Structure 1
Amino acid sequence: MALSKIFTTRFYAKNTGFFLVIFYFFFGIVPGGQLPSYHFTLIKGFTGSPGFLALVCLLWLLYNLKCIAFIINILSTKEHSFLYGTLGILEGNARWRTWIWLHLTLYAPVLIYSLVSAGVALKLGFHIAALVIMLFSLLMVIAPLWIYVHKMKHPGTVFMLYRWQQWFNRTIRKPLWSFYGHELLNNNMRSLAIAKIASALIIIVTCSFMTDKYDERVLLVGILVCALAQSVLVYNHRRFDDLYLSLLPQLPVPLWKRYLQMGGLYLALIAPESILLIYKTWQQAAPIHWVMLITSNLSLLMLFRSILYFPRIDQDKYFRWVLIIIVAILFMGLARIYWYGILGMQALAGIIFYNRYYRYEAPLEKVD
């Protein structure tokens, strides 16, 4: 069918890398004989926890939005404008059958897994979770159909989210130091969402390890893994500055203020997982532990960014230093000398920032 080549085949071809990673996570990290028990344990984990189930539903929603955005983008291209003359003439049941078939060919991997999860939840006695999954899956299948039909009837319209982004960018005054944050929210939402979802999963799994006994060192390990997950965003921050804010050092702003602005940007970046951490450990952790964990995460990101002011720091060298720093802080955390690690990271980040900021020159390949 021609529509399969335009939509389905192109979707899976374009996202081959994405599906390879997902396939490896679900089927490649455990031996074949342990796959049933692995998935049973995984499904049991998120169907038995309302917070975990909400996070899984969010992941399914993001995948569904990915499918919807792909179809809308295909319909918006000039070379596929002929689809309005073919799909647009369909009426009644034929129209709905066509759109539901097209959407299901894209959403099928998640739909199948969600229905299997609902069956497992029923078997385990998690009836509310099973009902939530089935209703959510039904919504994920039906709701996009109205979006597609509306797009066919109004080809030139844009979504409310896009209009809101335009209004926000025109109305809200953005300081220079926050430009990268707006870049993530407007043009790099996928990377930001992946980092935030990975951090949320890490915190939830980490907190689940402390059902019997609270230990702040376990939480620190989770925070270190969160910082590792977000180190990619820090690396992309340098690229963004090289491309769009190369004249920023020429502005009359004192270095101490630039350093605090960098800290403010990364503090806003880690706010979601910090809030989740406090929520998950509300009855266990002491406030001083929250401060320690959040400042550890913040100090790590600030140190990662400062390292990138050294010359000839490519991606391989950067991540090598990231791993060295995380391992060093891990051993300090196991020895419960957290504050020495935080002070050391801040001192090292500040010294590097102070000595390298005005001497840094963007590599030529970054600004071509």
Structure 2
Amino acid sequence: MSDQQQKRALPAILCLTDACDRPETELFIGLRNAGFDVDVMCNPKGRNYQRLVDEGMVAEPIALKNRFDKEGTGAIREQLHRKRYDVIHAFNPRALACGLRASRGMDIRIVAYRGVIGNISFLNPESWITFLHPRVSKIVCVADAIREHLAEIRFLWMKIPERKLQRIYKGHDLSWYQDEPTDLAEFGVPEGEFVVCCTGRDRPRKGFDVLVDAIDRLPEDVRLHLVLVGDVINNKELRAQIEGTSHPERIHFTGYRSDAPGIAAASDVFVLPSIEREGLPRAVIEAMAYSVPPVVTRVGGMPELVEDGVSGLVVPQKDASALSGAIERLYRDRELLARMGKAAQDRIATRFHTSQTVRETGELYKSLTGKS
């Protein structure tokens, strides 16, 4: 079969997203290289937009304002009239709601992406215009924890059929992570010190207060520095908590940084102390790609990402004592630290590789459409 014949035989896909990240971008390109006819409608302000343009994959630039974006919905509908697609794959709730509305009356399969736990309910009207809409054929969950959570949602006799739920891990490639380690002296970290890094948005569910408590519980002979990356620098309550610790001079804020992966790469341990609603956190994956062992909580998909005792350590959420103990263990056992760092990198290179995401997503499209 010729390349052109194969392309016609495989499903045609319209992907709707926002400012797509690197894994999404490479998924689209990988699917096209595998023979699928893939077009993308996405935000032109995204850092990966030009790469998709250069690959000839952007059908139309689009920046959806909300789930009821009339102009954006019209643009999607025009694209659906210009070209016959078999599948719409929507990568966020806005894209899903607008894609469903734009394709009304058309014979087309709808695939949704879900990357976090929560905010879906049979009592929530917005859920009915997105993930609970009867025309949604499949919900791709980034972790088994999310798939299981959605399968457990109930109201009276209503539930999401398990046949609609499928776990496909978001894929990465070690070649994407080649940043030089950031010089942490910029933030006041002395050269040669043991560094714990934590990156995340300033949200209560991220557990920054638990992490600061854990650091303060460490024995006096455990001399390390904590680097907090992100807008948590604006958290006044956390700053007050830090001032009350034994060694506030060892806790450093960076603010928002475009080189967050480089900061993680320059650290000895990466910690994400979330207390709820995680999928597969990109910050943890980035650290693992740089051979930095993670300490994470037993939340969402993180126990799937990190094999406890092999490629990192997993502790209960909201448990400052357990978190402190895990950090101390890696501080005192440098051989274990190095071994887990290498295992963490190997896990991203194999279990979470982008080629697996491309293959499983392609198989999903073929199963929905009967085209192969």
Give TM-score scaled by structure 2 length: 0.24
Larger Rg: 1
More helix by share: 1
More strand by share: 2
